Amino acid sequence: MTKKAFKGIIAYPITPFTENETVDISLFKEQVEQLIINNADAIAPLGSTGVLPYLDRTEKQLIVKATIEQVAGRVPVLVGVSNLTTKETIEDAIYAESAGAQAVMIIPMSYWKLTDDEIYDHYKKVADQVNIPIMAYNNPATGGVDMSPQLLKRLLGIPNVTMIKESTGDIQRMHYLKKELGDQVDFFNGSNPLALGAFVAGATGWCTAAHNLIPKLNVALYQAIQNNDLKQAQVLFYKQVDVLKFIVEKGLPRSIQAGLEILGKKGGHLRSPLNVLSNEDKEQLKVLLEHATIE
């Protein structure tokens, strides 16, 4: 499978928990199945949405295994393997490859702000140990590091670092990436409220948890872009933008869990300290979801 495996709507499942905060694999598989049925172009477990850093090694391996089994080759799988230490990142990446993932995603998680050289070495050491493509993921809001476009360009010098995901929400950064790296690399948008702007700027795909709640609108937006129909894309975007802003503002795990319940599905529980949305927030999300219809 080539690096061009990933495009369109890359759907991020949450990691649901049971009432006593253990991982609920059975519910996770149901949720993944829904993403596939609703035409996701790829499945990406263990992202921020999947509360990756709140899980231990065993739990992460269970999630990877469950994803590969449930997807069963229908779409490609992109596994998050980010860790604070290089050693654990390598171990998780090796596991993901051996389990059958098509690619891994790495955000340079940071407690101590890393230098550019430290980030480069981190990616290089992981890349040397796996054969599948790596998506370098920039998201200062959760990862704590803001990789410059120059650093992203440097990372692409590592042979199997072939994709970039940008979640800064800075459209000008996407312009830079497209302009500077355009033909070397696919870039993916991870900022939900920027979905339209990023596709217009040339993004290959949209990494989104919104597909758990409003899959038809997500898929139709990508389709309008493919059809070069700007006016239709604009209409579709404005139908979903309020939901996109809400889920980002309130936090993806909380919002998707609540949204699934609102839609009559099972959302499972969250792991402390994360807690469910307030009733007021749930009420607001309910109204937004009612208005976010494709007709």
- Binding segment toward a second copy, per CB under 8 A, in 8-16, 60-68, 85-93, 260-268: 85-93
Q: Is 23 in the site for a second copy (CB under 8 A)?
A: no
**Of the residues 7, 99, 144, 160, which one makes contact with a second copy according to CB under 8 A:** 144
Whole-number Å distance between alpha carbons of 76 and 19? 31
Minimum CB–partner distance for residue 162 and a second copy (Å): 21
Q: 169 in the Ramachandran plot: left (φ > 0), alpha (ψ -120 to 50) or beta?
A: left
**Of the residues 38, 142, 168, 284, which one makes contact with a second copy according to CB under 8 A:** 142
Q: Is 19 in the site for a second copy (CB under 8 A)?
A: no
Of 282, 256, 269, 273, which is closest to residue 16 (Cα–Cα)? 269
Say if residues 200 and 234 touch (Cβ distance below 8 Å).
Answer: no
**Of the residues 26, 129, 148, 275, which one makes contact with a second copy according to CB under 8 A:** 275
Q: Would you call 197 exposed, middle or buried from its count of C-beta atoms within 10 A (0-12, 13-18, 19+)?
A: middle
Size of residue set near a second copy by CB under 8 A: 57
**Of the residues 171, 181, 223, 286, which one makes contact with a second copy according to CB under 8 A:** 171
Q: Is 172 in the site for a second copy (CB under 8 A)?
A: yes
Q: How many CB atoms lie within 10 A of CB 176?
A: 18
Q: Is 196 in the site for a second copy (CB under 8 A)?
A: yes
Q: Which is nearer to a second copy, 74 or 179 (CB)?
A: 179
* Residue 149: C-alpha distances to residues 28, 51, 64, 115, 253 (Å): 35, 26, 30, 14, 28
Q: Is 91 in the site for a second copy (CB under 8 A)?
A: no
DSSP annotation of 210: G
Minimum CB–partner distance for residue 14 and a second copy (Å): 11
Q: 148 in the Ramachandran plot: left (φ > 0), alpha (ψ -120 to 50) or beta?
A: beta
Interface pattern 235-274 for a second copy (x via CB under 8 A): ---x--xx--x-----xxxx----------------xxxx
Identity (one letter) of the amino acid at 204?
T
Q: Is 53 in the site for a second copy (CB under 8 A)?
A: yes
The kind and range of the H/E element at 11 are strand 8-11
Give every CB contact of residue 68 below 8 A, 6+ residues apart in sequence: 77, 99, 100, 101
Two tokens, residue 148: 């410059």
Q: Is 26 in the site for a second copy (CB under 8 A)?
A: no
DSSP, collapsed to helix, strand or coil, labels residue 279 as: helix
Of 108, 95, 106, which is closest to residue 63 (Cα–Cα)? 95
**Of the residues 18, 98, 115, 129, which one makes contact with a second copy according to CB under 8 A:** 115
**Of the residues 61, 223, 234, 284, which one makes contact with a second copy according to CB under 8 A:** 234
Q: Kindly list the residues in this chain that would bind a second copy in the complex (CB under 8 A).
A: 21, 48, 51, 53-54, 84-87, 108, 111-115, 117-119, 121-122, 125, 141-142, 144, 169, 171-172, 175, 178-179, 193-194, 196-197, 200-202, 225, 228-231, 233-234, 238, 241-242, 245, 251-254, 271-275
